A and B are shown apart, each in its own frame.
Chain A
Amino acid sequence: MKVTITVNGSQVAAEVADRTLLVHFLRDVANLTATNVGCDSTSCGACTVLMKGAGEAGGGKSVKSCTVLAAQADGSEVTTVEGLADGTGEMHPVQAAFHAEHGLQCGFCTPGMVMAAVSLLAENPSPTEDEVRTALEGNLCRCTGYHNIVRAVLAAAPAVSERRVG
């Protein structure tokens, strides 16, 4: 079937098998390989991206792209970690905070973790530590023990709020 998805602001249209998962559309059709597959049971969150249906407001909601068919995303806007930085190449405040706080090691969970954090801060601009931990429960990291990820999200919160206002 023909699927058209706006990925990071660019329209990508392709004929794909009906069963094609959104994550494979992103990786193999749009050729954006940052979004990773870490499990086959919707448990790990490595594939988390933001998805916004036609006519919806805001920056989109986080979805696990291994559990969304490309067909279900037809006509929607999807943002991956590659589309997070602004045009100047400046990192998004969440990306910058992960860097500053050493919120990543091997990097495999990172794109999904960053997108989950962006989604959290859009919904809750000043979360507590407990709220951050709860929000990231669906994203597994095997390297950091989550300590610095949580610190990074908390550190990013003010800058994300400022950016939204500005």
Chain B
Amino acid sequence: MSILGTRVVRTEDPRLLTVGGTYVDDLRLPELADAARVTFVRSPMAHAKITGMDTDAARQAPGVLAVLTIQDMDDLTPPPPPEPGSEVSEGAPLPIGGLWSEPLLAIDRVRYVGEPVAMVITSDSYQGEDAAELVSIDYEPLPAVIGVGGALDTPTLLFDGTDSNVPVDSGEAADDAIFQGCDAVAERTIVNQRLAPMPLEGRAAAARFADGKLTYWVSTQNAQISRFILAGALGMDPGSIRVITPDVGGGFGAKVGIDRDAILVAWAARKTGRALRWVETRSENLVGMTHGRAQEQTIKIGGTNDGRVLAYRLDVVQDTGAYPRMSGFLPFLTKLMAVGPYDIANVQTKSRVVVTNTTPISAYRGAGRPEATAAIERAMDLFAAEIGMDPAEVRRKNLIPPDKFPYSTPTGATYDTGDYVTALDKVLAASGYAGLRAEQARRREQGDVLQLGIGVASYVEITAADAAAGETARLAVHGDGTATVYTGSSAHGQGHHTAWAMLVESELGIPMANVTVIHGDTDLIPEGVGTYASRSLQLGGVAVHKAALEVKEQARRVAADMLEAAEADLELDTGRGAWQVRGDPGTGRSWADVATHAGADGLTAYVQFTGGGATFPFGTHVAVVEVDTETGKVRLIRHVTADDAGTVVNPVLAEGQRHGGIAQGVAQALLEEMLYDADGNPLTGTLADYAAITATELPSFELVNSETPTDINPLGVKGIGEAGTIGATPATQNAVIDAVSHLGIRHIDMPATPSRVWAAISDAPGGQGGSGGQGGQTKGAAR
């Protein structure tokens, strides 16, 4: 029996549990023995001109080896001037550049609190914090542009030479004709708030420049991409750069590639000739690492009184922060997935990207797709409420039926495989949906303080959206019968080493314990892409699988030679890892025998797998909450999900991905939000203020199995890394609103904090306050 699909605990764990991982700050290599510390001087102003800098006091502080500012950056070519007509397409996750360019160190203007302005290099990190305080910078404040509304309605422009704060406008027009013939229409502007990705390990990098070669250790999801970013930024040949990713303490999209801070560490190492190490503090991380989400969405939905949705419109305004690092990519993905798992004939989308004086926005677990799902799932509930139908029933009536796959959406996606109705029904059954509704009715009847809310969210998402970029794998079987896998994919908690070894054992019968997996070293693995967009297994895993198949055929030829038999007469007994003449175990030759006979490099395969395409995982989440109607406090008491990502290679790992995603999704619905005041000061810049979700705010999760293989790749697998976040956010938000919907409340923006829920109840027509306001208006500070 194949090991695939069985519950295998991780090979990575014993080391992490007994001596701890080796993250950048843990490296005790001889090359870094004398490494000095980098401390950034960051802008305390959201928007200001820099009118002066005085670094003298800092230079004389104890332990200071150097203080670097833009004045020292005389060894880099300035960015090319803007070329009219050379705009980056909104579907490319690249900075727009030109007039909207982002410098490495601030030149004469800062555009967000936390922007790097200078670097202090010291013998140790305590000295660095002291000396950074002594760098004196004169700022002349400019008006801060905060929030989507602020960006659109202000005479203040962030970038000289532009005529607005809108670098990307998709230009699509709204046409209300699609809503003609609808019995019921609902429209709403909702907020998908700004979040901090907050991996437990923040950003970190170490660099050593010697003999014309840069060695660079970095906490990233992509060693090879980081190498090309460095080469471009520093004007170096990629061949003279070695990027190594030691253990990485979480990424969640915010460690795709490297950003300006990390590039500066490499530049400073070359500039000073010193080995350097930078490990950011959490307070730096919360303003310096990119944020995620940050969309304002206007949704409009219409359909018939018997529950059929006929038309849907999504208008997205993406706050991209101070610099458009991702161009229009996130709203592009949101629009692509706008229609969700539903068969809706008429769909319109539109997007604009605005710059604001806040931390730049980039990918965060889901990257544009949770935003799409949040919008359509809120819209489905608004429509259900409008026609007075159960939200689960409305979904069932509109889900794409299984006989329609592959299904082309009005927004240009082609869903590969799916059985959406079955996933919905499985989760409704597992949650005891009818019983929950009965309990809800009982509590409403009795006027309980603790009201029950049941939230349903069905979703489909896109994984490996950039499948054409592919992934690499090199597999070698050695003379002692062991194997080594070199993967271009990159692990930071997902369990790649375990899964890749399982793929080798399954195909070749070499026990997992004898399979070593290596990733994240560009000298050993020059070509690769890395990990994002839930791409690893379906691209990197398939590359390993294909490499194993190639090695198997090589071994068959070698074994045939050894046994003096025809290749067609040979078989591999994967149970004991031996080649034999078919049906004659006595002729068995072990992998060690075959590899030895093949000689050095005899059994080696290199695969660049680009044959896959994007895949579309799907599922349904049901969240059950209790809302205290006197305090507005929400408690998630159950969370039941079916997340179908095709064939499951290791249920232990797949469930772990779902758990983590659910928690982050619930966190967005209930707790987390990066807030700024009107002057652009972050209000949630430490973990004492940013409400990262803890164990006490979550129940154990109830996972329902669902496996619908894809035919896009030979393993039948789709991505599972982001599904939890995508489904859990709207399910939980819908549950909160459902709990108080009998009071006339139709919407409450995320996060559903006690104050926000309490205010909605107070303002609701059927609530306690009766102040006449409309439930669900957004309260609190600007985003």
Contacts and interface: CB of A to CB of B under 8 A. Distances in A.
A85 to B, nearest CB: 6
B282 A108 contact: no
By Cβ-Cβ distance, the 3 closest A-B pairs, closest first, are A34-B20, A108-B249, A145-B663
Interface in A3-29: 17, 19, 27
Given A102-B652, A107-B249, A108-B250, A40 B17 contact: no
A121 interface: no
A33 interface: yes
Contacts of A17: 126
Interface stretch (B138-146, B303-311, B499-507, B688-696): B688-696
B27 to A, nearest CB: 9
Contacts of B401: none
Contacts of B12: 107
A100 B7 CA distance: 10
Interface in B693-722: 694-696, 698, 700-701
A46 B695 contact: no
B660 A137 contact: no
B568 interface: no
Nearest to B125: A24
B660 A44 contact: no
A43 B10 CA distance: 28
Contacts of A85: 18
Nearest to B283: A40
Nearest to B250: A106
Contacts of A144: 656, 659-660, 663
A40 B281 contact: yes
A36 B249 contact: yes
B18 A143 contact: no
B126 A19 contact: yes
Interface in B643-697: 652-653, 655-656, 659-664, 686-688, 692, 694-696
A81 B19 CA distance: 7
Contact of B198 (A91, A134, A142): A142
Interface stretch (B52-60, B382-390, B488-496): B488-496
A86 B16 CA distance: 16
Contacts of A140: 200, 687, 692, 694
Contacts of B19: 34, 81-82
B435 interface: no
Given A108-B23, A111-B20, 9 more contacts: A39-B281, A39-B282, A98-B17, A107-B247, A108-B199, A136-B695, A140-B692, A143-B656, A145-B660
A95 B14 CA distance: 8
Interface centre among A40, A136, A149 (most CB of B within 10 A): A40
Nearest to B127: A17
B164 interface: no
B9 A99 contact: yes
Contacts of B14: 91, 99
B364 to A, nearest CB: 11
Contact of A107 (B20, B655, B696): B20
A129 B694 contact: no
B20 A145 contact: no
A151 B536 CA distance: 27
B252 A39 contact: no
A146 B724 CA distance: 14
A40 B686 contact: yes
Interface in B632-650: none
B694 A137 contact: yes
B703 to A, nearest CB: 9
Interface in A122-166: 129, 132-134, 136-151
A146 B661 CA distance: 11
A127 to B, nearest CB: 12
A145 B9 contact: no
B201 interface: yes
Of B199, B248, B493, which is in contact with the most chain A CB atoms at under 10 Å from its CB?
B493
Contact of A43 (B247, B494, B686, B695): B686
Interface residues of B, number: 54
Most buried by A among B249, B495, B686, B688: B249
Residue of B17, B495, B692 contacting most chain A CB atoms (<10 Å): B17
A12 B383 CA distance: 67
A84 to B, nearest CB: 8
Interface of B: 9-10, 12-14, 16-23, 25-26, 28, 126, 198-201, 247-250, 252, 281-283, 492-495, 652-653, 655-656, 659-664, 686-688, 692, 694-696, 698, 700-701, 724
A109 to B, nearest CB: 5
A88 interface: no
Interface residues of A, number: 56
B340 to A, nearest CB: 23
9 contacts: A17-B126, A34-B20, A105-B493, A107-B247, A110-B20, A110-B21, A140-B687, A144-B659, A145-B662
A99 B13 CA distance: 6
Contacts, number: 182
B18 A82 contact: yes
B126 A106 contact: no
Contact of A133 (B494, B664, B696): B696
Contact of B199 (A43, A98, A138, A142): A142
A118 to B, nearest CB: 12
Contacts of B20: 33-36, 81-82, 107, 110-111
Contacts of B250: 105-106, 108, 142-143
A43 B200 contact: no
B696 A137 contact: yes
A39 B696 contact: no
A34 B18 CA distance: 8
A134 B660 contact: no
A146 B248 CA distance: 19
A106 B15 CA distance: 12
B28 A108 contact: no
Contacts of B247: 106-108
Interface string A34-70: 1111111111101000000000000000000000000
Contact of B28 (A33, A105, A147): A33
A104 interface: yes
A133 B695 contact: yes
A19 B247 CA distance: 29
Nearest to B281: A40
Nearest to A129: B700
A95 B695 CA distance: 19
A147 B661 CA distance: 11
Contacts of A104: 13, 16-17
A42 to B, nearest CB: 8
A50 B499 CA distance: 34
Nearest to B22: A33
A137 B198 CA distance: 17
